[in-house]
Amino acid sequence: MAVTSSCKDKFGMDSGKYVRYTPEQVDALERLYHECPKPSSLRRQQLIRECPILSNIEPKQIKVWFQNRRCREKQRKESSRLQGVNRKLTAMNKLLMEENDRLQKQVSQLVYENSFFRQQTQTAALATTDNNSCESVVTSGQHNLTPQRPPRDASPAGLLSLAEETLTEFLSKATGTAVEWVQMPGMKPGPDSIGIIAISHGCSGVASRACGLVGLEPTRVAEILKDRPSWFRDCRAVDVLNVMSTGNGGTIELLYMQLYAPTTLAPARDFWLMRYTSVMEDGSLVICERSLNNTQNGPSMPPVQSFVRADILPSGYLIRPCEGGGSIIHIVDHMDLEPWSVPEVLRPLYESSTLLSQRTTMAALRHLRQISQEISHPTVSGWGRRPAALRALGQRLSKGFNEAVNGFTDEGWSMLESDGIDDVTILVNSSPSKLMGANLSYANGFPSMSSAVLCAKASMLLQNVPPAILLRFLREHRSEWADSGIDAYSAAAVKAGPCSIPVTRTGSFGGQIILPLAHTIEHEEASD
């Protein structure tokens, strides 16, 4: 390796000197560079003494070699960074071109439908029609309404046919014009954005769609997305009840999924699903799913107490390998959350595609990007915790809050008092999973618990009050409304022990403010 004239001039070397190092000398210098990229003058002199092969090289020349070596390392890192940015921009440009083609097809289809609708309207205006004919003219343009279908065959052969149909419908939503997508307000696509986010316009149920780039391989992305409870904070559980292999190398899974209710005023949702995983000819991975409520000749899932059975229309993930590493992912979430089962004032929470996009679709993309960053930059945060540990803590906090809001009996919650659906409900949980240890004693013939989790919860609806403003008010005025004492009723249920300071939990969902309060004896249950 030779020192170039530009480097010699830069570091003040005599232009007449030219040092050519032998391979053995380069190896010795490289070993020291990996140990210490910037050695001191004493360390360089020590190197010359310890390595006879460097005895004919002056210390100043070795100093210049290390300067050049650090310069090359910096250039190599910058070049690698720029290559990564270039690959990302190339992939984003390809994604935007595909999105532009899809939008052009959607515009062409809308223009054709508009022309057809006008022609039908003019024909109807010229002719004398009755109410039935008028109704047929109006409904002719509503192509997004879900038709009534006979029960589907849920036998193994029927499931395979249903899986292929689900795959086709999902791809038509993800990359085609089956749904009229409109860009999410405030979400501009770009290389540093989370992705291209869109919500449905005029289709049945609620639907959202996203396209993005992640620095993970397709198989790793599929593995993460299938583990829905790890990134979907509202997901209580996903049980795989059966797995069937297909002839094309794919798999069909029968799933039962439960979601937590976001408020104390509405029941939770559950789903009976089929999930189809396959590999396409171009190497892309597809994970698509749909509900199996309207089926026959196969397994079924009976209604579950405390849950309302909702529907997932053809949805899923298209994961394509990206040149240079990483993946391009298309996500479609399409649900019918049965809004009829909740009070009318809460129905916007179950009829908003924007809310579905924020809580589900974008959550998946953010989780993938976070894991990708953790892998590429495994640094320690300011709290002395690694990002993965903080993420796990956040999941635990969210799960604890959802458990308190829902208060399911199979999670150990039992009701002490409730004056009605609009009033405060008091629950207690003494299960081993919630406590460090339980100590049951008896007084006057009745068992009393010296260790338990006590939760008081209620919901209120505040109109035209942004959640951020209310949360700031609660933080600033906590001393005015928070009561650190325990009333007589609670003290009778939970026998006084070494009390800890009560913790107030606050959370928000779509403008409705939920304030569950939890007091613990000997142990505090974390929540957000």
The pLDDT assigned to 168 comes to 94
Sign of CA pseudo-dihedral 497, 498, 499, 500: negative
Architecture category of domain 23-77 in CATH: Orthogonal Bundle (1.10)
407's CB contacts (< 8 A; 6+ apart) are: 413, 415, 425, 427, 455, 457
CA gap 499, 151 in Å, rounded: 57
The pLDDT assigned to 235 comes to 94
Place of tokens 């994604």: 95
The pLDDT assigned to 136 comes to 45
From start to end of 246-310, where are the E strands? 251-259, 268-279, 285-291, 295-296, 307-309
Is the pTM higher than 0.75? no
Same topology between domain 23-77 and domain 152-377+390-395: no
The pLDDT assigned to 243 comes to 92
> What are 223's two structure tokens?
């593995």
CA gap 214, 387 in Å, rounded: 17
Helix, strand, coil share (%) of the chain residues, nearest 5: 40, 25, 35
The pLDDT assigned to 220 comes to 93
Q: What is the 3-state secondary structure (H, E, C) of 11-30?
A: CCCCCCCCCECCHHHHHHHH
Q: What CA–CA distances, in Å, run from 324 to 84, 94, 217, 264, 308?
A: 8, 14, 10, 48, 45
The pLDDT assigned to 424 comes to 82
Place of tokens 């390796």: 1
CATH number of 152-377+390-395: 3.30.530.20
> What are 202's two structure tokens?
């005029």
CA gap 66, 39 in Å, rounded: 8
Listed as ranges, residues in the chain with pLDDT below 70 are: 1-18, 122, 125-150, 186-193, 378-385, 419-422, 434-450, 481-528
The pLDDT assigned to 285 comes to 94
The pLDDT assigned to 84 comes to 73
CA 433 to chain centre: 26
The pLDDT assigned to 459 comes to 80
Helix axes 59-126, 41-50, angle to 10 degrees: 110
The pLDDT assigned to 104 comes to 77
- For residues 214 and 365, is the Cβ–Cβ distance under 8 A? yes
The pLDDT assigned to 6 comes to 45
CA gap 22, 187 in Å, rounded: 57
Which residues are paired to 214 by β-bridges? 327
Task: Give me Rg for the CA atoms of the chain.
Answer: 32
- At residue 175, what are phi and psi to the nearest 5 degrees? -125, -5
The pLDDT assigned to 379 comes to 66
The pLDDT assigned to 249 comes to 83
Domain boundaries, the chain: 23-77, 152-377+390-395
Q: What CA–CA distances, in Å, run from 131 to 134, 140, 145?
A: 5, 14, 20
